[in-house]
A and B are shown apart, each in its own frame.
Chain A
Amino acid sequence: QKEVEQDPGPLSVPEGAIVSLNCTYSNSAFQYFMWYRQYSRKGPELLMYTYSSGNKEDGRFTAQVDKSSKYISLFIRDSQPSDSATYLCAMVNAGGTSYGKLTFGQGTILTVHP
Chain B
Amino acid sequence: EAGVVQSPRYKIIEKKQPVAFWCNPISGHNTLYWYLQNLGQGPELLIRYENEEAVDDSQLPKDRFSAERLKGVDSTLKIQPAELGDSAVYLCASSPVTGGTGELFFGEGSRLTVL
Please list the residues of chain A having a beta carbon within 8 angstroms of any beta carbon in chain B.
4, 6, 8, 32, 34, 41-46, 49, 88, 90, 92-94, 98-107
Q: B16-49 vs A: 1/0 string, CB under 8 Å?
A: 0000000000000000010000001111110010
Q: How many positions in chain B have a CB within 8 Å of any CB in the partner chain?
A: 24
Query: Does the CB pair B42–A102 fall under 8 Å?
Result: no
Those 7 A-B pairs whose CB atoms lie nearest each other, nearest first: A100-B100, A43-B106, A104-B42, A46-B103, A100-B99, A44-B106, A104-B43
B42 in complex: contacting residue of A6, A41, A93, A94, CB < 8 Å = A6
Q: Which residue of A lies closest to B100 (CB)?
A: A100
Q: How far is the CB of A107 from chain B (nearest CB, A)?
A: 5
Name the B residues within 8 Å of A104 (CB-CB): 42-44
Q: Which residue of A lies closest to B92 (CB)?
A: A43
Contact residues of B between 69 and 115, Cβ < 8 Å to A: 91, 93, 99-101, 103-109, 111
Overall SS of chain B's interface: loop
29 intermolecular pairs with C-beta atoms under 8 Å apart: A8-B40, A32-B101, A41-B108, A41-B111, A42-B109, A43-B91, A43-B93, A43-B106, A43-B108, A44-B43, A46-B103, A49-B103, A88-B43, A90-B42, A92-B100, A93-B100, A94-B101, A99-B99, A99-B100, A100-B100, A101-B48, A102-B33, A102-B45, A104-B43, A104-B44, A106-B40, A106-B42, A107-B40, A107-B42
